[in-house]
Structure formats: structure tokens, C-alpha cells
Amino acid sequence: MSLTAHAAVIESDLCVYGGTSGGVAAAVQGARMGKSVVIAEPGKHLGGMTSGGLSAVDIGDPRSVGGIAREYFTKLAATVGVTLAWDKAFESKGGGPATGGAYAIEPHKAEKVFTDMAREAGVKTHFSARLASVKKEGARIIEFTTENGDVFRAKMFIDATYEGDLMAKAGVSYTLMREGNAKYGETYNGIHYSERFMPRTGFGQPGPTGRLKDGLGAWDRDFPLDPYMVKGDPKSGLLPLIQEGDPGKPGDPAPGVQAYCFRLCLTTDKTNMIPITPPADYDPKRYEIVARFIEACKANGDDMDLRWFSKHDALPNDKWDFNTATFGGNLPGASHAWPEASYAQREKIAKEHEDYHRGLLHFLATDARVPEKVRKDMQRFGLPKDEFADNGGWPHQIYVREARRMISDLVLTEHHTFGKTVAPKCVSLGSYGTDTHEIRRIVRDGVVTREGKTAGGRDGAPPYPIGYDAIVPKQSECDNLLVTFALSCSHTAFSSIRMEPVFMCSSQSAATAAVIAMDEKIPVQKVDYAKLKPLLEKDGQVLEWKHGKGAKGAH
């Protein structure tokens, strides 16, 4: 590592690593409690996915969200003259889950609210702070050094990165495995094949919202597609976009994290548009499986439009938030190396996702095998000039849906998310369904199959507590660190917990706990919940569910 002339020592009471949505919430909370706070962010922007393209935020039940998260979304909605109803559950529209879309605001406005809140609280933000090493004394982090030589010293640290990078460098236990069902007595963990997403024919036609009567969207259609270069001939090899690999035994432990994508913000305003160019090595043959998907849709009698390739939610000013689909922005398998990869390797993985996605959109706009209606629909869209301006209109944040997960004294499992077991010492509530994006796109029984995908509820269970002990490491491993994104939970529990508002609420609570630990000079594991809880409630955090049943959808 070479030290630059700009290398500095940055000291604070509280250092938050990761300027994500939760990172900002934690930093603002710490500063409001009178402490000096810095955010060290490896990238160049604040807000993570909440300002990085995830504009139609999935929130579960709004009544479960309080504190700085509620304050943030209220301020964000006010930028377009909208007042949010925090006292009411969402209503289902067209058979889909009643869970989101109400917070659909343009990314640049979202980033500005985060930036303003941090600045107004007196938080100092340091960008391009790529973590290089961590120095500990016993179980205590003293400082960490970034790649440019800067040193960050603090009394307390919060890891608010999607990847859990500070946690890992600090020697805290974590996993990247999908636990087998046997480990915690779960149902949806390990290798998993959901009946809802098994290849079949005879799909119904979607209504005005793009959803079928059973809640499936037009964007989720799993046909029995032939995966081979020469149809019917396994010896000819697999088509691009299909992974090698044994289907495995359902419920067995397995590696692999959820598929990542970019949540694109696209516009139909020609005066604010950058054309979506394909990658330099664009080859339509890479999308042969998409052409076969189109053949199957036609055989099914589908009158296809762009929704078949991306659920897209309207934003203000002629913009749209593009999600993924059976064949959309997700690139299953390409995400698996991300959590442990170096920053340089992550840049390559992000570029691989971008090139794939640009190529797909170009294919949909231009290829003769694509129905004319889809092509014309796709040709209406481009990247907005006024979003992600330093990156050509393309989002700066890839959607890290899952990475490392800490292993602490409390591991949240689906028993917690389904309301069968209640975690003690609540710091926030989770309320979303069990929503796991596919881990692999492989061959099973001779056809293309999405392994690992779930999208269901939680059997009608109400919002559930995130326990304090799931955001602190084992005391012997690190006693002045809280981990709010890569928290201690099983793979399938994380599929429900992983919503941005939950991360924000948990992170704010973590900062409050960090201040108590700081003032009392005790390990974070020894914070008295009887002291913590009233402070959280005073700040408007929602810690108890008082409304009967809660949100139960997912997509």
C-alpha cells in the first residue's frame, strides 16, 4: 500500500463504515445525540440502493417504520408534494402484494435528502474510503486504514455496508452459505425449488397491473425451455446465461447468494435522454435463451410488452424504476464472488452485470425475434441525463441483495420472521414477505430452472422484532462494533429482513446503543436494553406491533 500526500488521521466518537441508507440514519442519530460522527464511504454517494435506483421502495407495512426512516421518507415525498399516510397499511392492487411503490421518487432527489440530513446533523462524510486493514487491541477496534492511507479512529464503529466488509476485516464470524434446512429447523433454506417458479406451460394473461389472478406478474413466467446450444442435444453444450451445476437435493446446504442487478431509472422524455448503448462486445447469440423464452410466450398466447422483461414502476417526470424478471436485469451466479472480492474485482463484476443488462435492452429494442410491440416499447426509453450524472445515467450502486451474514449469539431464522419465535430486545420491526431472488439458473430435468427463488408471505404473521443481539458480534470477537446490514440471520430470514427501511431503523437503533456504550465505557454487548428501549421510543422508533395482522406479500 502506498501512502499518498493526502493521508490523514480522522478521529471521531463514532465512525460509520458505509454511507448507505442505514449508514446515514446511524450517523445522523449519533450526531443528534451530541457525538462527533464520520461516515467513511467506499464509493462516491450517500444512500446506497435507496438513492441508487431502488426508487419504488418495498417497505412491508408503513406502520412498522419509525424514527429517522419515517422522517427521511416523509421529507422525500414532500419534494413532490406528497404526504404519506404512516397510520395505514398499503392496499393490494391487482392481486399483487400490498408492499410498495408509495415511495417512488427520483434517485437524485433521494440522494439530496440523505446529503442534506447528514450535513444538517453535522456529520462529516469521507468518500472513496476503501477499507484496507483494521487494527484491534484485544476485542476492540482501534482504527482502520483505507487504501489511500487515511486512518479512521473512533470509540465505536458501525458497519452499514451491504457486504459486511468492516465486520469481516475485524475478524467477526460470518457465513456465505445457505444453511441447510436441518441446521435451524427451517423450510425454505439451502437448495430450494419453489412450486410457484417451476417450469410449466399454461400461464394466464395479466391484468392492467401486469399481474395474474394468482399474484404472479407477467415478468415471472417459467416455461420449460431447452437449455442446449442444439435443442435436445446435451453434448452441444449449454447456452449462454445458463450455469453449470448439479441441481442438488432440496434443503441441503449450498453456497451462493441471491442474484444482483442494477435497478435502472429510465426515462421517456426525449429532451432528458441518453441512448442506451450496447456493450462493445455485444453479441445477440448471448440472448438465445431469451429468444426461446419469447417463443414459449407466443405459444402461450401472450400479447407481450415490456412488462414481460421488467416490472417497471412510474416515477415523477416521465421516469420509471425498472426491476427484474424471469429474463431481466438479474444475472444469476455472477454475484457469488462479490462478497469476498476485492474492490477491483467488484468493479469487474459490476461491469459484467452492466454489459449483460445493456445488451439485453439492446436485444429487446432491435432483434427481429423480439415482438414488434416489445421493440417499440423498449425504444421509447433511455437513460436520464439528470440521474447518476457522473456515471452516464447508469446507477452507481449495484443491487447487493445478499452478501456476508454475521454469526452471533442470536441468529434470526424463519422461525422469527414467521412469528413462531420472538427475538428479545427489539431494535426494529421487519414486515416484508420471504423474497429470495434466484441463486442459480441451471438445468434440472432437462429444462432451464431457477433454483433458490422464493416469493411468498410469512403465513400472515404480523411484523416481527429484529433483536439487538443480532446486530452485535460475539463479545469475544469485537466489543465496539455493531453490524446492521450484514446482521446475524439465516439466508431465508435475510430474504425478509433485507428491506432498506428495516436497515435504516436498525442502524439508527445501533447508533443509540453505541452512544450508551461509549458514555458508560462498556462493550456494546453489555448495553442495558432497559436503558436503550426508552431512548428508541423517544426517537419515534416502532418496537411493538399493535395492529393485529401485518403485511404479508412479496415479489
**pLDDT category of residue 257 using cuts at 50, 70 and 90:** very high
Question: What's the average model confidence in pLDDT over 241-264?
Answer: 98
Could you say which of 399, 431, 459 is where a domain stops?
399
Phi, then psi, of 442 in degrees rounded to 5? -130, 180
Sequence letter at residue 430:
G
Rg (CA), the chain: 23
Domain co-membership, 391 together with 418: no
Residue with cell 404519506: 84
What was the pLDDT predicted at 81?
A: 86
Whole-angstrom Cα distance, residue 436 to residue 335? Answer: 14
Domain co-membership, 169 together with 255: no
Cβ neighbour number for residue 44 with a 10 Å cutoff: 11
Lowest-confidence range among 25-34, 160-169, 308-317, 407-416? 308-317
Identify the residue with better confidence: 313 or 275: 275
* Structural domain count, the chain: 2
Whole-angstrom Cα distance, residue 406 to residue 487? Answer: 5
CB 364 within 8 A of CB 309: yes
Domain co-membership, 419 together with 328: no
Is residue 79 included in any domain, yes or no?
A: yes
What is the pTM assigned to this prediction?
Answer: 0.96
Residue 551 pLDDT greater than 70, yes or no? no
Lowest-confidence range among 69-83, 340-354, 456-470, 484-498? 69-83
Cβ neighbour number for residue 280 with a 10 Å cutoff: 6
**pLDDT category of residue 77 using cuts at 50, 70 and 90:** confident
Kindly compute the dihedral angle of the four CA atoms of residues 192, 195, 196, 197, in this order, to the nearest 10 degrees. Answer: 60
Tell me: the pLDDT tens digits for 104-117?
A: 789 999 999 999 99
**pLDDT category of residue 550 using cuts at 50, 70 and 90:** low
Question: What's the average model confidence in pLDDT over 284-309?
Answer: 98
What was the pLDDT predicted at 90?
A: 67
Residue 12 pLDDT greater than 80, yes or no? yes
Domain co-membership, 417 together with 357: no
Could you say which of 399, 432, 454 is where a domain stops?
399
Q: What is the mean pLDDT of the chain?
A: 94
Give the pairing of strands 140-146 and 383-384. unpaired
Is residue 460 included in any domain, yes or no?
A: no
530's CB contacts (< 8 A; 6+ apart) are none
Q: What percent of the chain has pLDDT over 90?
A: 88
Query: Could you tell me which of 326, 381, 357, 399 has the C-alpha nearest to residue 555?
Result: 326
Residue 96 pLDDT greater than 80, yes or no? no
The SS3 of residue 489 is strand
Domain co-membership, 373 together with 478: no
Residue 413 pLDDT greater than 50, yes or no? yes
Domain co-membership, 259 together with 272: yes
DSSP H helical segments within 272-413, as ranges?
288-299, 343-366, 372-379
What was the pLDDT predicted at 127?
A: 98
Tell me the residue range of the domain where 311 lies. Answer: 195-399
**pLDDT category of residue 154 using cuts at 50, 70 and 90:** very high
Whole-angstrom Cα distance, residue 22 to residue 504? Answer: 4
Domain co-membership, 116 together with 166: yes
What was the pLDDT predicted at 200?
A: 97
Domain co-membership, 328 together with 408: no
Domain co-membership, 395 together with 411: no
Domain co-membership, 93 together with 207: no
Torsion-angle region of 524 (φ positive above 0: left; ψ -120 to 50: alpha; else: beta)? alpha
Is residue 450 included in any domain, yes or no?
A: no
What was the pLDDT predicted at 4?
A: 45
Domain co-membership, 407 together with 348: no
Is residue 371 included in any domain, yes or no?
A: yes
Give the pairing of strands 151-159 and 233-238. unpaired
- In this structure, what C-alpha cell is assigned to residue 29? 442519530
> Can you give the CATH number for the domain in which 105 is found?
3.50.50.60
Residue 555 pLDDT greater than 80, yes or no? no
Domain co-membership, 378 together with 516: no
Residue 94 pLDDT greater than 90, yes or no? no
Is residue 334 included in any domain, yes or no?
A: yes
CA 100 to chain centre: 14
- In this structure, what C-alpha cell is assigned to residue 257? 447468494
Tell me: the pLDDT tens digits for 477-504?
A: 999 999 999 999 999 999 999 999 999 9
Is residue 184 included in any domain, yes or no?
A: no
What was the pLDDT predicted at 554?
A: 34
Question: What's the average model confidence in pLDDT over 365-384?
Answer: 98
Is residue 323 included in any domain, yes or no?
A: yes
Is residue 107 included in any domain, yes or no?
A: yes
Whole-angstrom Cα distance, residue 483 to residue 161? Answer: 9
**Between the CA of residue 148 and those of 6, 130, 170, 173, what are the distances in Å?**
8, 8, 19, 27
